[in-house]
Structure 1
Amino acid sequence: MSLCLSLGRLLLLVAMVATPAVAATAGDEPPNIVIVFIDDMGYADIGPFGCDAYPTPNLDRMAAQGRVFTDFHSATAVCSASRAALMTGCYPERVSIQGALFPGARIGLNPAEVTIAELCKQKGYATACYGKWHLGDLPEFLPAEQGFDEYFGLPYSNDMWPYHYGSHDLSAGVKQFRGDDYPPLPLYEGTEIVDADVTPEDQARLTTQYTEHAVGFIDRHAGERPFFLYVPHTMVHVPLYVSDKFAGKSGAGLYGDVVMELDWSVGQILAALERGGVDENTLVVFTSDNGPWINFGDHAGSAGPLREGKGTMFEGGYREPCVMRWPAKIPAGGKTDELATTMDLLPTIAALIGAELPERKIDGKDILPLMTSDAPTPHEVFYCYYNRELRAVRDARWKLHLPHQYRTLDGREGGAGGVPVAYDQATIGLELFDLKNDVGETTDVAGDHPEVVERMLAHAERARAALGDRLTDRDGSEVRPAGHVPLPELEQATAGGE
Structure 2
Amino acid sequence: MKKIKVCIVLLTLAVLLITTGSSWKPSPNPQKPPNVVLIFMDDMGYGDLSCYGATGYKTPNLDQLALEGTRFTNFLAAQAVCSASRAALLTGTYPNRIGITGALMSWADNGINPEEETIPELLKEKGYTTGIFGKWHLGHHPEFLPLQNGFDEFYGIPYSNDMWPVEPDGKPATTGLKSRFPVLPLISGNDRVAEVRTHADQNKLTTTLTEKAVSFINRNKSKPFFLYFPHPMPHVPLGVSDKFKGKSGVGMYGDVMMEVDWSVGQVLKALKDNGLDRNTLVIFTSDNGPWLNYGNHAGSAGAFREGKGTSFEGGQREPCIIRWPGQVPAGRVCNKLLSNMDLLPTIAKVCGARLPKNRIDGIDWTELLKGNESITPRKTFYYYYRKNSLEGVRRDHWKLVFNHPGRTYAGYLPGDDGWPGPNTEDFAFPKALYDLRRDPGERYDVKEKYPEIVAELEKLAEEARQDLGDDLQNKPGTNLRKSGMHTEK
TM-score using structure 1 length? 0.91
Secondary structure at the aligned position of 1:204 is classed as helix
Q: Measured at CA, do residues 190 and 198 of structure 1 come closer, stay the same or move farther in structure 2, by a change above 3 Å?
A: farther
Partner of 1:43 in structure 2? 46
* One-letter code aligned to 1:421: G
* One-letter code aligned to 1:142: L
Q: Measured at CA, do residues 418 and 308 of structure 1 come closer, stay the same or move farther in structure 2, by a change above 3 Å?
A: same
* One-letter code aligned to 1:99: G
Q: CA deviation at 1:43?
A: 0.5
Q: CA deviation at 1:377?
A: 2.7
Partner of 1:494 in structure 2? none
Partner of 1:22 in structure 2? 26
1:305 aligns with 2:303: yes
Counterpart CA distance in 2 for 1:155 and 1:199 is: 17
* One-letter code aligned to 1:167: D
Secondary structure at the aligned position of 1:225 is classed as coil
1:283 aligns with 2:287: no
Q: Is the 8 A contact 2:253 2:298 kept in 1?
A: yes
Secondary structure at the aligned position of 1:215 is classed as helix
Partner of 1:440 in structure 2? 441
Q: CA deviation at 1:375?
A: 3.6
Matches within 5 A, 1:129-168: 129-164=132-167, 166-168=168-170
Counterpart CA distance in 1 for 2:71 and 2:473 is: 37
Counterpart CA distance in 1 for 2:473 and 2:134 is: 37
Secondary structure at the aligned position of 2:277 is classed as coil
Counterpart CA distance in 2 for 1:429 and 1:28 is: 54
Partner of 1:194 in structure 2? 193
1:182 aligns with 2:181: yes
* One-letter code aligned to 2:278: E
Q: CA deviation at 1:28?
A: 2.5
Partner of 2:395 in structure 1? 395
Partner of 1:341 in structure 2? 339
Matches within 5 A, 1:267-282: 267-282=265-280
Q: CA deviation at 1:227?
A: 0.5
Q: Is the 8 A contact 1:369 1:375 kept in 2?
A: no
In percent, how many aligned pairs have the same letter? Answer: 51
Matches within 5 A, 1:11-410: 19-22=23-26, 25=29, 28-164=31-167, 166-168=168-170, 174-178=171-175, 180-222=179-221, 224-373=222-371, 374-387=373-386, 388-410=388-410
| Runs (5+) with no aligned partner, structure 1 | 1-14, 169-173, 489-498
Secondary structure at the aligned position of 1:280 is classed as helix
Q: Is the 8 A contact 1:330 1:371 kept in 2?
A: yes
Q: Measured at CA, do residues 414 and 454 of structure 1 come closer, stay the same or move farther in structure 2, by a change above 3 Å?
A: same
Q: What is the root-mean-square deviation of aligned Cα atoms in Å?
A: 1.7
Partner of 1:7 in structure 2? none
Secondary structure at the aligned position of 1:71 is classed as strand
Give the number of equivalent residue pairs: 466
Counterpart CA distance in 1 for 2:273 and 2:361 is: 37
Per-residue CA distance 1:286-326 (angstroms, 9 max, x = gap):
10000000010110001010000000000000100111111
Q: CA deviation at 1:178?
A: 4.0
Secondary structure at the aligned position of 1:105 is classed as coil
Stretch of structure 1 that moved more, 364-373 or 132-141:
364-373
TM-score using structure 2 length? 0.93
Q: Is the 8 A contact 2:196 2:202 kept in 1?
A: no
Secondary structure at the aligned position of 1:270 is classed as helix
Per-residue CA distance 1:100-135 (angstroms, 9 max, x = gap):
001131100011101011111010001000000000
* One-letter code aligned to 1:386: Y
Q: Is the 8 A contact 1:340 1:377 kept in 2?
A: no
